Amino acid sequence: MAQIKSPKAQEFDTLIVGGGLSGLLSAHVLEATGRNVLLIESMETLGGSSRIGQTKAGPVDHGLKIFPATPETHAALDWLETVIDEKIERTEIDAAPVTYDDGKFKPYVGFGSATVETASEVEAYAVEKRLLLSSTPKDWVQKLAQTYTGALMTQSYATKFIVDDTFIIETLLNGTKRICAQEVVFAAPPQQLPELLGDGTLPARVRQKLNKGDFWTSVNLDIVHGHTVTDSQAVHVLKGANEEPTIGVFHAPQADGLQVSQWLTLIPRDQVDEEELVAGALKQIKRQVKRAYESAFDGLVQERILVVPGSHGSLVGQFDPAGRLPKIDNLWIVSALFSSHRNTVGAILETQRILGELGPAPIHEAERQLGPHTVTAEA
C-alpha cells in the first residue's frame, strides 16, 4: 500500500474516530505497536456510552450493562485484562429473568405468539446466568483514558472523509482541520458513515443497509431509590399491552439505605428526535416499574435519563468481511453491531478481531501489501 500524504494536513499513522471503550482499546493496542495515533472524540470527555454516570448513590455505568456467563464473555474479559493490565474478578449468579403479569412475578419465557420487534435485543439481556464483575465499563474507560499517551482531540467531530480511488486520503474535523492517516479506525456508530463518505462513494445497497437497517435507540432511566425495593438479582423483562419491553435490574442495596436500579426500552432510531416518543418511553418505564414494585418511587432520591441513538441493532452477515466497506481499503469499523454477541461483550470481541486484522506493525513499516481486496455487501 502506498503512503498517503497531504501537504496541508497533519499526518498520523492511525486515526481513531470515537473515544468510547472500543476506541480507547484500539488506541492503546495500536499505540503500543509504535504507531503514531490520533484519537478524536466528539464529547468533552472520553468514554462514550461506557463513561461514568454520576448519581447521588455514587458512580454507575452509563446505562444498563449485562454480562452473560458464557465462554465468549470470559474470552472477551480475558483479552481485556491483558490490555488494561488488571484482573477482573467474576462472580457467576444464577438469577433467571422474570416478568410481571396478573399481579405476580413469573419466570420470563419469551413472548409466545406476540410480535415484539425488539425481541432479539431483549434476549441479549434476558440471560439465565450472568457475571458480576469487580470492575465494569466505567472503570475500564477511566483507566484507559488516564493511561493513554497518544495524540487526543476532544470536542472534535469527523465531518467528512475525502476519498481518492479506494483510500481515505484526508479526514476533515469540525469542518476545517485536515488530518491525513494511513489507517482509519471508525469506533463511532457506523450509521454515520454514508454521510461522512458522501454521495457516490458507496454502492446504493451499502448505503441502504447502513441507513435503513433495523437499528434502535435506547431510552434509559437510572433510579436512585430512597429505600431497598428488592433483593432480587434477576433481569426484569416488563411489558404492557402494545408496548416494547422494559428491561432492567436492581443493584445490591447500599449501606446508606439507597438502592439503584437501571432500566431501558427501545424506540426506532429514526424517531429519536421526536420528544413525545422519548417522553412516552420514559413514562412506560416508570409505569412498568411501579406496576411490579408499587413502592419503588416512594422517597425517590434521583432519576437520571440517558438516550443513546442507534445503540442497538445488527449488521451481522450484511458485509463480507465484517467491519469493512467495499472500495474503501484503509477503513476498519469497530462496532458491536457486527457481532453475534451483543452490547459490551460484542464491542470487545469486535475490537479484538479488527485489531488482529490491522496487525502488529505500523502500516508505513509493515512489509505487507494490502493490494485491492474485495468487500461485498450481502444481498
| Per-residue pLDDT tens over the stretch 84-118 | 999 999 999 998 999 999 999 999 999 988 889 99
pLDDT level of residue 229 (50, 70, 90 thresholds): very high
Gap between the Cα atoms of 329 and 147, Å rounded: 30
Residue range 165-178: average pLDDT? 95
Give the CA angle between residues 36, 39, 41 to the nearest 5°.
Answer: 170
Report the pLDDT averaged over residues 119-125.
Answer: 94
Which residue from 362, 338, 364, 334 is spatially nearest to 26, judged by alpha carbons?
334
Is the confidence at residue 28, as pLDDT, over 90? yes
Q: Are strands 216-225 and 319-320 parallel, antiparallel or unpaired?
A: unpaired
The pLDDT value given to residue 375: 40
Per-residue pLDDT at 367: 40
C-alpha cell at 90: 467474576
Question: What pLDDT was estimated at residue 338?
Answer: 94
pLDDT at residue 3 greater than cutoff 60: no
* Helix/strand/coil percentages in the chain, nearest 5: 25, 30, 40
369 has pLDDT over 60: no
Q: What percent of the chain has pLDDT over 70?
A: 93
Q: What is the pLDDT of residue 113?
A: 86
Task: HSE, CB side, 13 Å, CA atoms: give it for residue 376.
Answer: 4
Judged by average pLDDT, the poorest of 157-171, 214-228, 261-275, 287-301 is: 261-275
What DSSP letter does each residue of 214-272 carry, written as one string? Answer: --EEEEEEEEEESS------SPEEE--TT---EEEEEPPPPTTS-EEEEEEEEEEGGGT
CB 314 within 8 A of CB 120: yes
Give domain limits for the chain. 1-87+134-212+314-379, 90-132+216-312
Q: What's the average model confidence in pLDDT over 233-257?
A: 95
pLDDT of 295 above 60: yes
C-alpha cell belonging to residue 44: 468533552
Q: Lowest-pLDDT range, 62-76, 94-108, 243-257, 268-282?
A: 268-282
What pLDDT does 366 receive? Answer: 41
User: What pLDDT does residue 362 have?
Assistant: 62
Query: Does residue 373 register a pLDDT over 50?
Result: no
User: What is the Cβ-side half-sphere exposure of residue 106, based on CA atoms within 13 angstroms?
Assistant: 11
User: Could you report how far apart the first and last alpha carbons of the chain are, in Å?
Assistant: 29
According to DSSP, the residues that pair with 246 across neighbouring strands are: 238
Identify the pLDDT of residue 242.
84
At residue 1 the predicted structure's pLDDT band, cuts being 50, 70 and 90, is: very low
Q: In whole angstroms, what is the distance from residue 25 CA to residue 78 CA?
A: 14
Name the least confident of 91-95, 311-315, 372-376: 372-376
With a cut of 60, say whether residue 370 has pLDDT above it: no
Q: What is the CATH number of domain 1-87+134-212+314-379?
A: 3.50.50.60
What is the pLDDT at residue 212? 79
Predicted local confidence at residue 371, as pLDDT = 39
Residue 83 has pLDDT above 70, yes or no: yes
Flag whether pLDDT at 376 surpasses 60.
no
> What number is the average pLDDT over the span 20-35?
97
CATH number for the region 90-132+216-312 comes to: 3.90.660
What angle (nearest 5°) sits at the alpha carbon of residue 200, between those of residues 372 and 179? 70
* pLDDT surpassing 70 at residue 8: no
For residues 258-283, give the mean pLDDT.
90
Q: Is the pLDDT of residue 135 over 70?
A: yes
pLDDT band at 137 (very low <50, low <70, confident <90, very high): very high
More confident residue, 260 or 375: 260
**320 pLDDT tier (thresholds 50, 70, 90):** confident
